[in-house]
A and B are shown apart, each in its own frame.
Chain A
């Protein structure tokens, strides 16, 4: 069962410490006995769920933290660390979502954000000044696409797993609404912002340890200019996890920022100029229009 369709509360079976039966048993019964030897229910609550007991979770937390520091390209290790450490904060985020009608719509519909659900061509057709248009322009400027993120594995409750997955997938929207590129110092600034706004421990770790890899000049700029912005803006803004971004494609971007309580950070270092990105978006718009008129 996928995250989108599983029941809100997982049926948890209590694990029984049973004595090992004769090894002559084959197949699934043998697995169940050995899984009980692990002191953990083996029934996955959703697709991709890997139940862990406390010791294993601790082991994975330490191991994934070391691995993420040693090899930052291991995105799955960063995700695993996020999964394992987010425990206490996710219910708070879920409750924040339940408090607003918009958040409740997200929890009910469980929308996903990836290349198949976000149609960049359709968004390019939107008028200048809308959030959807701004998002496509941002994607073009940074040279990224809404890729599939590492799914959630180690959170036991399917609803909380969805909340964490939603956070991961909306990360690019936060980039766009805060007007930040994808280089290291901007990512760190955004992590400070996310930590102030959402309180996720993983964002905190990234913020606390990530700057060690920066040059001192960049670190100086980060802490003198970006961090004050991130903390002020993040803590006063509306909780971004409750925002149903897909309903707001047509909304005016400045109005959206005012509604959420976000203002622009100090000027960041972009890899491409805005004019180039806008031109690319216009090209995409023309291609999409041509395709539409060609079809009709």
Chain B
């Protein structure tokens, strides 16, 4: 607070993408003649190859404060959402299961799966492979698991890999009973590729489950939600993590994600069998908190 030498040094800003400015009044940037495929990065349009490294930068910088930020942004509700996902899936109910949790860096879902199997069904054979493209996030997950009883057991493994192209030696076809991806799929460059890989590594009869931010359809609530997202979340990012840009990206990436029926159709197109195209029991998805989040499920037949 008193311009101590350390604070002066810390004044140097550490923006993750100094090279990529959010020009509000600039239309789409000049695109490379060779790369014709563009994708969205928040509200910017970027060449496909760039999105991966931009996302990597975002998560490198948020990794250490990720859990704190999740609590602040969702007011702790994200814990309830994740609990709901796992209780819906009931891992361990029909014997030990091989699970893969993709984009699950910090290990939230993996831990819940293992605890659920252990506490409800006295199952200590269910195993989870945590996969994430970002090493920093995996490091955080590894650190968290060191505090649990699953550390150094065959029940948990961490692997750095790209969800769109899981290496076949490490992740052969038809291996897993359960594939989960929570709050990760919107950061991927090509959702159909992720779904294709999910379909490949699941056993016939295996379940695909995706927990993701989705569309709030109620107009009054969506207004409130928008205000909250665009005003408060970037400010919380500035205050708690010193990083507005990453949280601005996170909020924008939520808006760019396809709404529930569209995403459910993409899951069907990847070869999964889902419930009917409606919300709720028996449907392809379930809304959580009025659609702020949604759980999409499918089965590989």
Q: Give chain A's interface residues, CB within 8 Å of chain B.
A: 20, 23, 26-28, 30-31, 34-35, 37-38, 42-44, 50, 53, 55-56, 59-60, 63-64, 67-69, 72-80, 143-144, 147-151, 171, 182, 184, 187-188, 191, 206, 210
Instruction: Compute how far the CA of A69 lies from the CA of B2 in the bound complex, rounded to whole angstroms.
Output: 11
- Chain B residues closer than 8 Å to A69, beta-carbon distance: 1
**Which 4 residue pairs are nearest across A and B when measured between Cβ atoms?**
A187-B2, A72-B1, A31-B43, A63-B239
Which B residue's beta carbon lies closest to that of A37?
Answer: B226
Pick from A38, A50, A55, A67: contact of B244, CB below 8 A.
A50
**Minimal beta-carbon separation of A30 from chain B (angstroms):** 6
Is B10 in the interface zone, CB < 8 Å from A? yes
Most chain A CB within 10 A, of B2, B8, B231, B238, is at B2
B244 touches A76 (CB 8 A): no
Instruction: Compute how far the CA of A225 lies from the CA of B221 in the bound complex, rounded to whole angstroms.
Output: 58
Instruction: Compute how far the CA of A263 lies from the CA of B112 in the bound complex, rounded to whole angstroms.
Output: 66
A73 touches B6 (CB 8 A): yes
Q: Give chain B's interface residues, CB within 8 Å of chain A.
A: 1-13, 24-28, 40, 43-45, 215, 222-223, 226-227, 230-232, 235-236, 238-240, 242, 244, 252, 255-256, 259
**Minimal beta-carbon separation of B135 from chain A (angstroms):** 26
Instruction: Compute how far the CA of A182 lies from the CA of B2 in the bound complex, rounded to whole angstroms.
Output: 8
The verdict on A26 contacting B11 (CB below 8 Å), with A59-B232, A188-B2 known, is: no
**Minimal beta-carbon separation of A176 from chain B (angstroms):** 13
Instruction: Compute how far the CA of A149 lies from the CA of B1 in the bound complex, rounded to whole angstroms.
Output: 13
The verdict on A150 contacting B255 (CB below 8 Å), with A31-B43, A206-B1 known, is: no
A28 touches B235 (CB 8 A): no
Instruction: Compute how far the CA of A59 lies from the CA of B227 in the bound complex, rounded to whole angstroms.
Output: 13
A55 touches B1 (CB 8 A): no
Pick from A28, A35, A50, A60: contact of B239, CB below 8 A.
A60
B2 touches A144 (CB 8 A): no
The verdict on A147 contacting B24 (CB below 8 Å), with A34-B255, A37-B230, A56-B231 known, is: no
The verdict on A210 contacting B239 (CB below 8 Å), with A34-B255, A35-B230, A37-B230 known, is: no
Pick from B2, B3, B13, B28: contact of A27, CB below 8 A.
B28
- Chain A residues closer than 8 Å to B26, beta-carbon distance: 28
- Chain B residues closer than 8 Å to A149, beta-carbon distance: 8, 11
What are some 22 contacts across the A-B interface (CB < 8 A)?
Answer: A23-B259, A27-B45, A35-B24, A38-B227, A38-B230, A59-B235, A60-B239, A67-B240, A72-B2, A73-B7, A73-B10, A75-B7, A75-B8, A76-B13, A147-B11, A182-B3, A182-B5, A187-B2, A187-B3, A188-B2, A206-B2, A210-B2
B45 touches A26 (CB 8 A): yes
A56 touches B2 (CB 8 A): no
**Minimal beta-carbon separation of B298 from chain A (angstroms):** 23
Instruction: Compute how far the CA of A27 lies from the CA of B244 in the bound complex, rounded to whole angstroms.
Output: 19
Instruction: Compute how far the CA of A23 lies from the CA of B226 in the bound complex, rounded to whole angstroms.
Output: 13
- Chain A residues closer than 8 Å to B2, beta-carbon distance: 72, 184, 187-188, 191, 206, 210
- Chain A residues closer than 8 Å to B252, beta-carbon distance: 31, 34
B8 touches A147 (CB 8 A): yes
- Chain B residues closer than 8 Å to A68, beta-carbon distance: 1
B28 touches A144 (CB 8 A): no
A28 touches B6 (CB 8 A): no
- Chain A residues closer than 8 Å to B230, beta-carbon distance: 34-35, 37-38
**Beyond A60-B239, A210-B1: 20 further Cβ-contacts under 8 Å?**
A20-B222, A20-B226, A26-B45, A27-B44, A34-B43, A34-B252, A37-B226, A42-B24, A44-B25, A64-B239, A67-B240, A72-B4, A72-B7, A74-B10, A80-B238, A143-B5, A147-B12, A171-B3, A182-B3, A210-B2
